[in-house]
Structure 1
Amino acid sequence: MSQKKIFLVLIAICMFSLFLHHRGHLNLTFEAFWLSCPSSTNSSTQGSSGSALKHTSVAFLKTHKTASSTVQNILFRFAERNNLSVALPVTTCQHQFCYPQPFSVHFVHPYTTSPDIITNHLRFSHSELRRLMPRKTVYITILREPAAMFESLFSYFNQNCLSFKRVPNGSLENFLDHPWRYYRPEELDSMYARNTLTHDLGGDKDHPSKEAPAYAKRFAAEVDRVFSLVMISEYFDESLVLLRRLLSWDLDDVLYVSLNMRTPDSKSSLSSENTAKVRSWNAIDSVIYDYFNASLWRQLRSLGLPCVEREVQLLRRSRDRLVRGCFGGNLPTLRSASQIKNKALRPWQPSSKVAIVGYDLPVNITQKGQVPLRDECLKMIMPEVQYTQLLLRSESLRYRRRFPLRNSKQILRTVRHVRSDREPPSPSLIQRPSETMARSTRGAQQLSQ
């Protein structure tokens, strides 16, 4: 046999071995090529090949009870895989940026003041975020249908929010019949009881009713100018298709499992009458949600709905593969916090009245002698509080290695004052100073989704 033939045989053997070793990845690549939309395939290929770099500067406004914990987990894992820095709260703010106070750079831990990504709960302030984040930061957030969101808020914060706590028998129906009987705008946690999305976005949740419709439209337009993408939780996978395109990320970058969920018996269905009452009570939120729900579908239609559906199916199959690779089959069992042996996987419980479930590792993984769970797999099911603490330890070690001699005053001066290409929201649409100053740090102690 000639040397040329021997060389070709060796090449064939190597290629076959490579195929066997990376079979799952190659199958995924072929599926992505045939099933996803052309522009999506291009962006994915470009992102991984380096001809078009992935966007790595992201500010995610984590809203309440909107599946935002799942998005946050995606961003946390992306940051770790790509060696990016994540802005994290100072310890006095716990795992949120001193919410419900408007965000300030002073709420950022001094070891994380040159971040690529920010994603923990905060009350939006574009001007302050511009001081912290790089100029080309992409702003994204997520919204949820107001009636479903309000039912979840009422259940989740029924023992933390005084407006809910004083309702007889903890009845949502009683609250909706006479909301002003229980609601106090000046109370510390009142943002959970009315127009929560508006408050999170930095707006005035208690804008006078007569002017509310016009205010809501102006405010939605201002939000639209700042945020490059507003996801909708009811169409979570479709939103991820848009997110992946916007950031030029690979499919693997947006795989997820759902986090911070309530048990079925903690949920209640709303009648059409009560749904209408919720939307009326949260009138500003309702306008904002309808505005961005329509915007999302315009973007999806512009891509072509058949293509979007194919990519959604590809995403779900890829997620199933990841779950099988991590846990040997199905997802770990959902259990109450008290039943989960691994403390790193126990979700925070808002009260005894509502149960938030987490994932318990399969027995065959936790048994002695079995192969340890991959770090990526463990973090995919890790709750927000524990993951934030883990990242803070990692960021602190990294900072100390880089700047071993810096003291705290020098660290605080590292906050970058970088202006964005976009203008901040109009001051007239931002929370009144008198109201925001009335908030205290006790609000930062309210743990939320």
Structure 2
Amino acid sequence: MSLAKVIQRIKKEWQIIVTILGIYIFYYTLTSINWPKAQRRLKSDIDPEVPIKTDSWIYNPGKVYPPEWYAIPKKPDPQCKPKHNLHFLRTHQTGTSSITNIFYRYGQEHDLKFVMNALKLNLNYPGRINMHYLESVKPPQGYSILCQYSRFHKMDALRIMPDGTIFTTLLRHPVDQFLSVFHNHGIKEEIRNLQPHHNPYEEFFRNPKKISMMASDAVFHLIQNSMSFDLGLNPLQFPNETAVDELIKKVDEDFHLVIIIEMLDECLVLLRRLMCWDLKHMIYVKLSVNNEYSNGIKPEIREKILDWNSVDKKLYDHFYKKLQRIISEQDEDFHKEVAMLKKINAEFWRECYSNVLPVFDGNKIGYTLQDTHSDNKTCKTLATDDVTQTHVIGLKQFKDTLPPSDILMVRNHMQNLGKFNPAMLKWGDVYNALDPDDAYYKSPFDEL
């Protein structure tokens, strides 16, 4: 073989080696890149910091309830027995705080157990619920109520909730809901490009797709169609009409009542009839401000909000119409019952409270008690925010496992917040309810 052919052959072999090496380097570099968080968030609904094991769990109901059990009766049945098992899927900035307070009060009154992580307001949101943890801390009598923030996954819900559970959730008009998210979750502060602008809405809608991708993990999932996201729709499917229609169909099938916040009193009467609860259980006070940001929004911005949140708009319109249809089928006493609930609420407010106070930069509402009701526990419980309520219930439900530092944290939280909301539950109310004879709670956590 001539020298020229040998050299040519060596060149070909080296070209093959270099090509293989280049492919390997490219693949290694590609898999090592730290892609923007916003891109990675769309790929999975699972929080990488909380590994969730997969298993072959299948829903096998122990008892099958008739369709009538889940249907909203057209007139109340005085013979029906109260239902205690409830799954309330909380959506963001829709007014869930006041409604959750109803479920907190009912559960505590009937000594029911809540699906919750100790002292936390969410169940690994926005990731999947950590089922293995919840099963490991499940009380002997089982769970009855789920009303913490979570992202809906039907199989997870059926796995943790007992048979015969009633499913409900809450929707708000997409414009008001989006503006409330924008304000209360500090979208302007979270996205650097919006910070210099006097009107962040106009700047955001110059290029909402690009700007939303700059958001931090804390708010990314709330910026677009967040109600649909909470109900389980993947953001990658927002442009997919078939997927959106399928979501609405599933929500229709899985949820026995979808509450519309703009018709809250009517919905609470429907819920009372569905759950066979007394009207007194549906009393509520506002715990967050009714943000009227939409009053100052230009019509063109309003239209852009609706277009940007088109999935939420379609979801809301569907269930608003369905709610009107359900109400039209109720008996002649329905509107009398709604009027009665409004009357009871107004009378209760006048008896309990003397003033309304801004809390948390004006986003939440606090109260001062009337002197005649300074020791009324119902008045205090109604005025207590959901974070504090979660702490109170967590202390009771996990008191055998919580370290003293957590109890001290709850005490400090309640004492500090009580300065701004004097009508809320005090540490002494919780402290005495836990176990007044237990030294574990007496020292070193006596009230200052």
Q: Which amino acid is 2:335 matched to?
A: E
Q: Could you say which residue in structure 2 is the equivalent of 1:319?
A: 345
Q: Could you say which residue in structure 2 is the equivalent of 1:177?
A: 206
Alignment partners' CA distance in 1, 2:308 and 2:296: 18
The Cα offsets for residues 307-362 of structure 1, whole Å up to 9 and x where unpaired, read as: 4322211111122233344x2xxx3422133xxxxxxxxxxx3xxxx532322323
Q: SS at 2:398's partner residue? A: helix
Q: SS at 2:151's partner residue? A: coil
Q: SS at 2:259's partner residue? A: strand
Cα 1:161–1:297 change in 2 (3 A) is: farther
Q: Which amino acid is 1:385 matched to?
A: V
Q: CA deviation at 1:165?
A: 6.8
Q: SS at 2:329's partner residue? A: helix
The Cα offsets for residues 216-275 of structure 1, whole Å up to 9 and x where unpaired, read as: 1111001111100100011111111211111111111111111122676x7753333222
Alignment partners' CA distance in 2, 1:165 and 1:191: 18
Q: Could you say which residue in structure 2 is the equivalent of 1:234?
A: 262
Q: How many residues align?
A: 326
Q: Which amino acid is 1:309 matched to?
A: H
Alignment partners' CA distance in 1, 2:134 and 2:378: 26
- 1:59-70 map, 5 Å: 59-70=87-98
Q: Which amino acid is 2:202 matched to?
A: E
Alignment partners' CA distance in 1, 2:364 and 2:259: 24
Cα 1:182–1:85 change in 2 (3 A) is: same
Q: Give the counterpart of 2:368 among 361, 367, 370.
A: 361
Partners of 2:356 and 2:368 within 8 A in 1: no
Q: Could you say which residue in structure 2 is the equivalent of 1:411?
A: none
If asked which structure has higher relative contact order (CA below 8 Å, sep 6+), I would say 1
Q: SS at 2:306's partner residue? A: helix
Alignment partners' CA distance in 1, 2:98 and 2:123: 18
Q: CA deviation at 1:170?
A: 5.6
- Point out where structure 1 has 5 or more consecutive residues left out of the alignment: 1-37, 47-51, 338-348, 401-449
Matched, 1:272 2:274: no
Q: Which amino acid is 1:169 matched to?
A: H
Cα 1:100–1:127 change in 2 (3 A) is: same
Q: SS at 1:361's partner residue? A: strand
Alignment partners' CA distance in 2, 1:249 and 1:88: 23
Q: Could you say which residue in structure 2 is the equivalent of 1:244?
A: 272
Q: Give the counterpart of 1:141 among 169, 173, 187.
A: 169
Cα 1:241–1:269 change in 2 (3 A) is: farther
Q: SS at 2:328's partner residue? A: helix
Q: SS at 2:94's partner residue? A: coil
Alignment partners' CA distance in 1, 2:309 and 2:384: 32
Q: CA deviation at 1:110?
A: 5.1
Q: Which amino acid is 1:203 matched to?
A: L
Q: Give the counterpart of 2:325 among 298, 316, 334.
A: 298
Q: Could you say which residue in structure 1 is the equivalent of 2:227?
A: 197
Cα 1:82–1:103 change in 2 (3 A) is: same
Q: SS at 1:85's partner residue? A: coil
- Point out where structure 2 has 5 or more consecutive residues left out of the alignment: 1-72, 402-448
Alignment partners' CA distance in 2, 1:67 and 1:293: 16
Q: Which amino acid is 2:253 matched to?
A: R
Alignment partners' CA distance in 1, 2:254 and 2:234: 17
Q: Could you say which residue in structure 2 is the equivalent of 1:207?
A: 237
- 1:338-357 map, 5 Å: 349=360, 355-357=362-364
Partners of 1:90 and 1:109 within 8 A in 2: no
- 1:82-101 map, 5 Å: 82-91=110-119, 94-101=120-127
Cα 1:185–1:117 change in 2 (3 A) is: farther
Q: What TM-score do the two structures reach when normalised by structure 2?
A: 0.67
The Cα offsets for residues 16-69 of structure 1, whole Å up to 9 and x where unpaired, read as: xxxxxxxxxxxxxxxxxxxxxx964x43x33xxxxx211100000011111111
Q: SS at 1:147's partner residue? A: helix
Q: Could you say which residue in structure 2 is the equivalent of 1:346?
A: none
Q: CA deviation at 1:396?
A: 2.4
Q: Could you say which residue in structure 1 is the equivalent of 2:20?
A: none
Q: SS at 1:336's partner residue? A: strand
Partners of 1:62 and 1:142 within 8 A in 2: yes
Q: Could you say which residue in structure 1 is the equivalent of 2:355?
A: 333
Q: Could you say which residue in structure 2 is the equivalent of 1:309?
A: 335
Q: Could you say which residue in structure 2 is the equivalent of 1:58?
A: 86
Q: Could you say which residue in structure 2 is the equivalent of 1:217?
A: 245
Alignment partners' CA distance in 2, 1:136 and 1:164: 47
Q: Which amino acid is 2:102 matched to?
A: I
The Cα offsets for residues 261-319 of structure 1, whole Å up to 9 and x where unpaired, read as: 2676x775333322221111011111111111111111001115x64322211111122
The structure with the larger Rg is 2
Q: Which amino acid is 1:145 matched to?
A: H
Q: CA deviation at 1:181?
A: 3.2
Q: Which amino acid is 2:207 matched to?
A: H
Q: SS at 2:83's partner residue? A: coil
Partners of 2:286 and 2:365 within 8 A in 1: no
Partners of 1:111 and 1:395 within 8 A in 2: no
Partners of 1:158 and 1:165 within 8 A in 2: no
Q: Give the counterpart of 1:377 among 353, 370, 379.
A: 379
Q: Which amino acid is 2:130 matched to?
A: S
Q: CA deviation at 1:90?
A: 3.7
Alignment partners' CA distance in 2, 1:269 and 1:109: 48
Q: CA deviation at 1:198?
A: 1.1
Q: Single out whichever of 64-73 and 272-281 deviates more from structure 2.
A: 272-281
